[in-house]
Amino acid sequence: MTPKRFALTPGEPAGIGPDLCLLLAAQPQPHPLIAITSRDLLVERAAQLGLAVSLLEVDADALPDHPAPAGSLYVWDTPLGAPVRTGQLDTANAAFVLQTLIRAAQGCLDGLFAGMITAPVHKGVINDGGIAFSGHTEFLADLTATEQVVMMLATGDLRVALVTTHLPLREVADAVTAERLERVTRILHADLQRKFGLARPRILVCGLNPHAGESGHLGREEIDIIEPTLERLRAEGMDLRGPLPADTLFTPKYLQHCDAVLAMYHDQGLPVLKYKGFGAAVNVTLGLPIIRTSVDHGTALDLAGTGKIDTGSLRVALDTAYRMAETF
């Protein structure tokens, strides 16, 4: 396997992102992994955690072609806006967080990196810092001039993609339009092929309403929108099954014969996935011209600097990005 470079962004500097990077350095990686963050931040956090990690400084003009030895970490130094107090948010570092994402994403676009892996950011402090920010996904879509992206989480052999994401429940039904459903399904299908190497992806599609509408008695979205859209896409050769009742779709009878589930809204699909694999799941942004994976948890400010964290989700995010890069 030929080594490829990957970018790692630690996210909110007061949270557990820097800790994750340092803990990760204990084990060798199969590819050169470059942490885009403040070197001073990592030095201070390593001392706080009692970790001996060798920080190997690199930059855009001198990126390594071989993995770092165990116990060391490549760092592309990115200046902080203000000193970091572990566990305490500071709006002065909002621009710093976004700068790390810009460096990573632009590096992917320029061919410096095969993909980027992100630790959690804190949306609130970025917005409080005067920068409109709704999340990694939307920020990277804007940065890469991508019109439509799709959120997909995965753990083990279960993948769940979403037609709608962070919407109030009362707005979901209006957002599930034929146009949106078609775009999302096309992106999911295409990226399962391009980035996961699945020649003919098998996709299960949830209904929107209980019992998938019960033949129209519990809602007509399945009859009027979902089924006609799926029929058009099936005519093109896509392997789509549904709409199926979400309360029975997530059972072995169905899941053993699929490559991904398409849920209509956030809390229809993700509770099942997180119950199955919280702490060992990965968030993948589909539709981007680059590979981006992320952990499935938040900044955990109260755990930063304590050493009482689990690197499981970050390891899954790394492994997923590595595998995706083999086919993309």
Is the Cα dihedral 162, 165, 170, 175 positive or negative? negative
- Tell me how far apart the terminal alpha carbons of the chain are, to the nearest angstrom: 14
User: What would you measure as the largest C-alpha separation in the chain, in angstroms?
Assistant: 64
- CA 324/CA 293 separation, integer angstroms: 10
Distances (CA, A) of 230 to 192, 289, 298: 17, 25, 35
Q: Is 127 annotated as a binding residue?
A: no
Q: Is 31 annotated as a binding residue?
A: no
Q: Is 137 annotated as a binding residue?
A: yes
- CA 227/CA 233 separation, integer angstroms: 10
The answer to whether the beta carbons of residues 316 and 191 sit under 8 Å apart is: no
List the alpha helices (DSSP H) in the chain: 17-24, 39-49, 94-109, 123-128, 136-143, 169-175, 178-194, 221, 227-234, 246-249, 252-255, 266-277, 312-327
Distances (CA, A) of 260 to 64, 154, 161, 300, 328: 35, 9, 7, 29, 18
What tokens were used for 130? 């005067």
Query: CB count, 10 Å around CB of 85?
Result: 12
Per the rule left: phi > 0, alpha: psi between -120 and 50, beta: everything else, 214 is left
Q: Is 292 annotated as a binding residue?
A: yes
- CA 135/CA 215 separation, integer angstroms: 37
- CA 53/CA 60 separation, integer angstroms: 22
Q: Which residues are annotated as a binding site?
A: 136-137, 166, 211, 266, 274, 283, 292
Q: Which residues are annotated as a binding site for a divalent metal cation?
A: 166, 211, 266
Q: Which residues are annotated as a binding site for substrate?
A: 136-137, 274, 283, 292
